[in-house]
């Protein structure tokens, strides 16, 4: 497999040409490339990025077998996309979704066929100026996916995007654009498969851009497998119209290094958003995760619930951040973070943040805790004959159960995730 | 199976550096019902927790055997699997773990690998026992003790006991907070299990429970030890006269654990 660092000034344009995109998208990438180069190297309070190298890494197409990903693609019945490395391998639309005008296709192709949609929405929620890694993604994204749900269409089956990486950096810049038009409803999720790789200084950047127009409703599942390798940056951001609702369910496992942001921009009056995070971390994982709610709309409401379980020498920083900007009267928000340290060598921070510029808020609160499992719970389970190991597992599973059951995915996907979690917690 | 026997000899228990149980002797055999009574804070729950092996309660002296085996060297789960059961005064709440799953895992832990109880048989048994204890069927899937009322927690402890069929059952204030109907149901749960295969140690403040569960022996605990033992008439005497007369008779001024030497 060949790997080369591309430093030429026209990287965006070259890639666009290679992917046979429309000229306007080549220009769009090119301007992203310019912002990428001008943006300062980022600094994070809790994550050391000194060694991290921000540059575009190009990889030749994947030659792996991707058995797990292929199997899952075959076992789901809803519309689905299968992405192997940086190539979209297959796209399947159900008859019903097709009939309803649901669009599920490559962003590259959509630059010709759905130019108006892309020009309106691409980069509207995650602009290149958002961060250096967002700009990196905009310039270099590959295997981009567009999902568009037309006005008032309610998708009845769960939509799934499968991304599989068998060699390091072979899917370094995935991008997904989801648009739920006025009154549309859908459940959509992405499940990632990864393989362990040697640690490297390279940066990957994964972007989910979500638009929920007025009255739209989206349930979004993100199942990330964060294994050791490069520095992984995830930007998942939704923008909500009037009375729209977006609920995120983000589950991650692994021993890698990641900086994840999940944010809802509650622009519309009466919009609402919930974020549930389930994270397990093993080995020497470092996970710097921020779940953010930005309230601009009046009567907008949000909740953040984060559950982390850390083992071995893992380290996690889970931030929940609620911002209520001036004018967002009667907005309300609640945060609950709980992180369990299974081993005394693990470390965790739960950092709640409230930034409130409006006096007239409805409810606002946070609760955060970091610690061991309550010894009285373990004692109680053991007092009926259950071993300490099983008691610990039962309590941890109990703690994750609600999030696992809420994942907007078909049972085959849930089972695959539960199997992964079981392996991780064993 | 042999008749169970719990033997406690000269037991001393310390909590957070403070000695609470100060030399306690007691033997409970299969088919016997022993009641422990005594004023608040005299070490009754401490005794029960130490026997079960709660990590906060440190045994600093004495011996305890269950069926001849050294109980104190066993971990909490080993004690349970050896046949010890404690219905707790304040059981923990465990969100996310359903009652049914908890009880099934407990049964399977005792049965051992390869002897797991079939799922359907388990649920049939569970529903049967829940019905007898007047527990709503929905409690099987409720999270363990989460949002249960005081009385519901007590009945849930008895449900676990009747499913597990222990060799020695310790019930710590299983009657407190129960109305008379619930009390009768709980007592029936205990009486149903009464056989030479099970011995009971029942901690209570009230004679009224002992109207329904008739004890063979009644012990009074003060200052971290048993200060008087007798038949069921001792409970009636205490009900009629209170603890003060007994204290005067025994020459005890302060019955709390701080006072004892
Ligand atoms: N976990 C603990 N931590 C600190 N002190 C404790 C603990 N458990 C018991 N104690 C102390 O030990 C003494 C005896 O308490 P215990 O609960 O055994 O009494 P009891 O006889 O069961 O009382 P009650 O009838 O009120 O239930 C009390 O002074 C109590 O404060
Ligand atoms: Mg007590």
pLDDT, tens digit (0-9, with 9 covering 90-100), for A154-169: 999 999 999 999 998 9
As given in the structure block, the two tokens for residue A405 are 């059951």
Check CB contact under 8 Å for A384 and B95: no
| Model confidence pLDDT, tens digit, residues A167-217 | 989 999 999 999 999 999 999 999 999 999 999 999 999 999 999 999 999
List all residues of chain B from 127 to 166 with a beta carbon under 8 Å from chain A.
Answer: 143-144, 160, 164
- In percent, the amount of chain A with pLDDT more than 90 equals 89
pLDDT recorded at residue B207: 86
pLDDT recorded at residue A2: 41
Q: Please report the atom of ligand 1 found closest to the CA of residue B42.
A: 21
Sort B107 into a burial class: Cβ within 10 Å, 0-12 / 13-18 / 19+. buried
pLDDT recorded at residue A9: 53
As given in the structure block, the two tokens for residue B127 are 């529903």
Question: Among B14, B18, B19, B20, which residue has the most ligand 1 atoms within 8 Å of its CB, making it the best to mutate?
Answer: B20
| Model confidence pLDDT, tens digit, residues B233-257 | 999 999 888 898 889 888 888 888 8
pLDDT recorded at residue A3: 45
Contacts of A376 in chain B (CB under 8 A): 92
Q: Is B46 in the pocket of ligand 1 (CB under 6 A)?
A: yes
Instruction: pLDDT band for B5, please (50, 70, 90 cuts).
Output: very high
Mean pLDDT for the stretch of residues B58-67: 97
Q: Is the pLDDT score of A7 beyond 50? A: no
Question: Among B19, B38, B45, B55, which residue has the most ligand 1 atoms within 8 Å of its CB, making it the best to mutate?
Answer: B45
CB atoms within 10 A of CB A23: 12
Strand pairing report for A103-106 and A145-149 = antiparallel
pLDDT recorded at residue B1: 64
Q: Is the pLDDT score of B140 beyond 80? A: yes
Dihedral Cα A178, A181, A183, A184, nearest 10 deg: -40
Q: Which residue has the higher pLDDT, A263 or A45?
A: A263
| Model confidence pLDDT, tens digit, residues B163-176 | 999 999 999 999 98
- DSSP single-letter state for residue B116: P
Distance separating alpha carbons of residues A293 and A290, to the nearest angstrom: 10
Domain boundaries, chain A: 11-425
Domain boundaries, chain B: 5-93+168-250
Q: Closest-CA residue in chain A for B91? A: A380
Phi-psi group of A283: left, alpha or beta (phi > 0 → left; psi -120 to 50 → alpha; rest → beta): left
Q: Is the pLDDT score of A8 beyond 60? A: no
Q: What is the edge-to-edge ordering of all strands in the sheet holding B18-29?
A: B18-29, B5-15, B57-66, B69-70
Strand pairing report for B168-172 and B84-87 = parallel
Contact B161, B124 (CB under 8 A): no
Name which of A118-122, A348-352, B190-194, B205-209 the model is least confident about.
B205-209
The correct answer on CATH 3.30.360.10 for the domain covering B5-93+168-250 is: no
Cα B41 to middle of ligand 1, angstroms:
5
Q: Closest-CA residue in chain A for B83? A: A385
Mean pLDDT for the stretch of residues A366-375: 92
The whole-chain average pLDDT of chain A stands at: 94
Q: Is the pLDDT score of B110 beyond 60? A: yes
Q: Is the pLDDT score of A293 beyond 60? A: yes
Check CB contact under 8 Å for B96 and A398: yes
Cα B42 to middle of ligand 2, angstroms:
8
Name which of A230-244, A330-344, A351-365 the model is least confident about.
A351-365
Burial A126-164 (b: 16+ CB within 10 A, else e): bbbebbbbbbbbbbbbbbbbbbbbeeebebebbbbbbbb
| Model confidence pLDDT, tens digit, residues A18-77 | 999 999 999 999 999 999 999 988 899 999 999 999 988 888 888 899 999 999 999 999
Contact B15, B57 (CB under 8 A): yes
Contacts of A399 in chain B (CB under 8 A): 95-96
Strand pairing report for B225-230 and B217-222 = antiparallel
User: Atom 26 (ligand 1): residue with closest C-alpha?
Assistant: B40
Nearest-CA neighbor of A211 among A174, A175, A249, A182? A182
As given in the structure block, the two tokens for residue A418 are 């539960």
CA distance to A169, A381, B234, per residue, from B144 (Å) = 45, 10, 37
- Tell me the pTM: 0.86
CA distance to A134, B20, B220, per residue, from A35 (Å) = 10, 71, 82
CA A219, A224, A230: angle at the middle one, nearest 5?
145
Q: Is the pLDDT score of A106 beyond 80? A: yes
Q: How many helices (H) and strands (E) does chain B have?
A: 8, 12
| Model confidence pLDDT, tens digit, residues B179-192 | 899 999 999 999 99
Mean pLDDT for the stretch of residues B114-143: 94
Distance separating alpha carbons of residues A16 and A410, to the nearest angstrom: 34
ipTM above 0.90, yes or no: yes
CA distance to A11, A186, A392, B15, B182, per residue, from B92 (Å) = 60, 40, 14, 19, 21
Cα B157 to middle of ligand 1, angstroms:
20
Nearest-CA neighbor of B49 among B159, B230, B173? B173
Check CB contact under 8 Å for B94 and A380: yes
| Model confidence pLDDT, tens digit, residues A382-407 | 999 999 999 999 999 998 999 999 99
């Amino acid at each position: 497999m060949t790997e080369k660092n591309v430093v030429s000034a026209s990287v965006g344009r070259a890639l666009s040409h290679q992917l046979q995109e429309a000229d306007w998208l080549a220009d769009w990438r090119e301007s992203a490339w310019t912002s990428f180069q001008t943006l300062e190297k980022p600094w994070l309070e809790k994550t050391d990025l000194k060694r991290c190298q921000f540059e575009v890494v190009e990889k030749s197409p994947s030659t792996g077998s991707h058995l797990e990903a292929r199997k899952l693609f075959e076992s789901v019945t809803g519309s689905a996309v299968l992405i192997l490395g940086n190539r979209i391998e297959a796209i399947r639309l159900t008859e019903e979704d097709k009939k309803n005008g649901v669009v599920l296709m490559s962003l590259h192709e959509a630059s010709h066929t759905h130019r108006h949609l892309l020009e309106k929405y691409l980069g509207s929620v995650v602009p290149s100026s958002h961060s250096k890694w967002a700009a990196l993604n905009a310039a270099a994204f590959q295997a981009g996916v567009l999902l568009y749900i037309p006005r008032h269409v309610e998708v009845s089956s769960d939509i799934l995007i499968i991304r599989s990486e068998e060699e390091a950096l072979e899917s370094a810049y995935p991008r997904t654009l989801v648009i739920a038009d006025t009154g549309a409803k859908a459940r959509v999720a992405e499940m990632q498969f990864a393989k362990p790789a040697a640690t490297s200084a390279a940066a990957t950047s994964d972007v989910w851009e979500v638009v929920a127009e007025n009255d739209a409703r989206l349930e979004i599942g993100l199942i990330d497998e964060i294994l050791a390798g490069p520095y992984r940056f995830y930007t998942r951001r939704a923008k909500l119209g009037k009375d729209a609702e977006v609920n995120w369910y983000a589950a991650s496992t692994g021993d890698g290094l990641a900086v994840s942001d999940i944010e809802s921009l509650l622009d519309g009056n009466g919009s609402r958003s919930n974020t549930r995070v389930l994270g397990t971390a093993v080995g020497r994982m470092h996970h710097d995760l921020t779940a953010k709610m930005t309230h601009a709309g009046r009567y907008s409401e949000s909740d953040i619930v984060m559950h982390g379980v850390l083992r071995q020498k893992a380290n996690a920083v889970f931030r929940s951040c609620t911002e209520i900007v001036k004018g967002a009267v009667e907005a309300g928000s609640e945060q609950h973070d709980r992180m369990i340290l299974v081993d005394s060598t693990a470390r965790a921070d739960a950092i709640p943040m409230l930034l409130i510029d409006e006096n007239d808020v409805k409810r606002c609160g946070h609760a955060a805790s970091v610690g061991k499992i309550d010894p009285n719970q373990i004692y109680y389970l053991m007092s009926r004959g259950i071993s300490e190991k099983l008691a610990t597992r039962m309590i941890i599973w109990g703690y994750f159960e609600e999030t696992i059951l809420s994942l907007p995915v078909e049972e085959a996907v849930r089972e695959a995730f539960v199997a992964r979690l079981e392996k991780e917690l064993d | 199976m042999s008749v169970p026997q719990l033997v406690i000899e000269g037991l001393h228990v310390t909590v957070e550096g403070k000695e609470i149980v100060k030399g306690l002797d007691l033997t409970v055999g299969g088919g016997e019902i022993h009641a422990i009574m005594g004023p608040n804070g005299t070490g009754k729950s401490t005794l029960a927790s130490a026997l079960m092996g709660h990590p906060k309660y440190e045994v600093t002296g004495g011996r305890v055997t269950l069926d001849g085996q050294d109980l104190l060297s066993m971990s909490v789960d080993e004690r349970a699997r050896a046949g010890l059961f404690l219905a707790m005064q304040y059981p923990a709440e465990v969100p996310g773990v359903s009652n049914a799953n908890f009880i099934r895992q407990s049964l399977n832990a005792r049965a051992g690998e390869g002897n797991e109880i079939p799922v359907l048989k388990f649920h049939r048994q569970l529903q049967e026992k829940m019905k007898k204890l007047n527990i709503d069927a929905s409690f099987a899937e409720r999270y363990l003790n989460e949002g249960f009322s005081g009385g519901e927690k007590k009945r849930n402890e008895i449900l676990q006991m009747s499913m597990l069929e222990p060799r020695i059952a310790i019930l710590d204030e299983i009657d407190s907070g129960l109305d008379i109907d619930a009390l009768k149901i709980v007592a029936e749960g205990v009486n149903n299990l009464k056989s030479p295969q099970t011995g009971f140690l029942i901690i209570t403040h009230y004679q009224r429970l002992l109207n329904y569960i008739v004890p063979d022996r009644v012990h009074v605990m003060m200052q971290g030890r048993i200060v008087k033992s007798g038949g069921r008439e001792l409970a009636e005497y205490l009900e009629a006269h209170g603890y003060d007369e007994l204290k005067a008779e025994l020459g005890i001024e302060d019955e709390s654990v701080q006072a004892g030497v």
